[in-house]
Amino acid sequence: MRKWGLILLLTALILPGCVYEKADPEQCGGRKYYLSLVLRTHGESAATRASEGSPNAFEDASLPEMLVAYADAFFYGADGAYLETRHLTGIDYAAASDPSVEMQAGTQTVELSHRPYKMLITANLPDASLLEGKTLSQAKELASDIACRWVAPVSVDYNGTPVPDVYPFPMTSSTWLSNSAQVITDVAVPEICLKETAAKAAAAPFTVYMERMAAKLTLRMPALEYKLPAVTTVNNISTKVVVLGWGLNAVNKNAYLFKRVRPSWAADFSWTWYNPSKCRSYWAEDPNYGAGTYPVSAAGISGGDALSYVSFNDLSGTLALDGGGYYSGSLYCRENTADGQYLPLTDGVSATLYSRITHVLVKAELQFSLASGTDTEGYTTAGDIYRYNGVFYASLAAAQAAELAYPGSVIECFKDRQLYYKIPVEHLNSVYPLSGTSYNTGNYGVVRNHRYTITVTGLSGVGTPVADPSEPIVPVRTPGDYQASVYITVSPWQQFQQNFVFLDPSGALQTNGQQVESWTDTSGWYE
């Protein structure tokens, strides 16, 4: 009798639920699972690249760049099948005790109807339905034309106080390469954080780190007016260039929702492009990395081109004095990267692929003034200015007379005295060598969640003339690229990472306990 009693007791224990964290609702009476999530930013100590300036400083994000209006967590089974989504709102922030932590979001507890094994998380995504019903592989491969920041302001709570007029930045869970060359995109849900009640889950929250989809480009200039040793036909005219604005050109139309990296880069690249201990990768692919159409001139621009090109009239970015005595401004764009073989060094037909590179364009105009005497040629009152063989003329007739006397060059027109300087955005410094007739992968590029600071130290010449201010500008290699003296500093923003800290059943402290999963290349994309 005691034997049967023991059997009945064991049966009663086994049938209702197994071990709770391993139970499946279909097998265990439809039990619920509770998981608490925390979104948090961490401090950093090492940068990826800096050609000059401070090479070891990460850039802190501003409050609007870090705030989360809402988040969406997408859950998947062990086979990557989509299970369910949870929308997280009312996210507030709490001060963090760790001095290396900038801030952390308040705990959010979700109730789940399925045992989750993996998840992807987005924040501030305008249309989260993009991922609804998608498998894990489909979600990772999804490319979108989502804006890199909201176009409408919202109010977001910070430490219990509403912060109005915030333009949030879309974010996704981080992607990086592990020490074993596995690509980590999805977050493995730690079994120990799945609980049978909301209260227990809140006591053992899971910290998820994320990164902004945007890249941030900052332009700094010591002045907005630069005297030029410009040549005119008379000696009593002085010339200066006045900066009017700036903008970004050749920016990507699309980006992968989740950053994409290749395991092969661990052997391909001679530079340190990933840091598993910080769950970071410092290079990525965009949807046009090895393909895409690119124009060779403004006339060749089509709607199917990979990148967007702007005109002189579109350069409306402003510069204002910052605390360091520089005129400064920042703009944002999607990441734009390319394999180095598509960025040729030589001029000619192949060099038209220079239009793959994102550029900073500085908008400016020529101004002439009298040093003494009389402006006999009319430089100070002329609308358009012309240049022939390096000499400025106040009228087309005067330039044509010079051409007739000394044929062999081309007359350039500065419509309404307008010109621009173009600065190709570098990702790596000059110590990373060139190879053959092309750049190495990583010399030029824009990667999400990085800040590119372009500091102009001076203008050594006149930039590219503008004949039609409404015509899109297609970058080509010209001597004008080197008439702005610059140095570029690249450093990742303070960003969300992907690790967690928890107490295991034995009470021992576990750190960096992320259960890594490799990206299964079901579509053969890497080939």
How many whole angstroms separate alpha carbon 159 and alpha carbon 93? Answer: 5
pLDDT tens digit sequence for 379-434: 999 999 999 999 999 999 999 999 999 999 999 999 999 999 998 898 886 666 67
Q: Residue-wise over 88-126: b if at least 16 C-beta within 10 A, else e? A: beebebeeeeeeeebbbbebbbbebebbbbbbbbbbbbe
Which is more confident, 430 or 254? 254
SS3 assignment, position 6: helix
Q: Which residues touch 91 (CB under 8 Å, ≥6 apart)?
A: 39, 68, 69, 70, 71, 105, 106, 108, 156, 157
pLDDT at 430: 62
Burial class of 63 by CB neighbour count within 10 A (0 to 12, 13 to 18, 19+): middle
492 pLDDT higher than 70:
no
Quick one: how far is CA 153 from the chain centroid? Answer: 21
Fold equal for 20-213+495-511 and 216-224+248-373+420-492: yes
State pLDDT tens for residues 431-478. 666 777 778 888 889 999 888 888 888 887 888 999 999 999 998 876
Instruction: CATH number for 20-213+495-511: choose from 1.10.10, 2.60.40, 3.30.70, 2.40.128.
Output: 2.60.40
Phi-psi region of 373 (alpha: psi -120 to 50; beta: other; left: phi over 0): left
Distance CA 282, CA 174 (A): 11
In this prediction, residue 382 carries a pLDDT of 95
Give the Cα separation of 351 and 527 in Å (integer).
Answer: 26
DSSP state letter for 250: S
Q: Could you give the 3-state DSSP secondary structure of residue 150?
A: coil
Contact 210, 172 (CB under 8 A): yes
pTM, entire model: 0.83
Domain-wise residue ranges, the chain: 20-213+495-511, 216-224+248-373+420-492
Give the range with max mean pLDDT: 98-112, 153-167, 393-407: 393-407
Rounded distance between C-alpha atoms, residue 261 and residue 283, angstroms = 7
Q: What is the CATH number of domain 216-224+248-373+420-492?
A: 2.60.40
Is the confidence at residue 100, as pLDDT, over 80?
A: no
Contact 173, 209 (CB under 8 A): yes
Q: Note the pLDDT of residue 523.
A: 27
Contacts of 506 (CB under 8 A, 6+ apart): none
Q: What is the dihedral of CA 265, 293, 469, 388, to 10 degrees?
A: 80
The whole-angstrom distance between residue 203's C-alpha and the CA centroid of its chain comes to 35
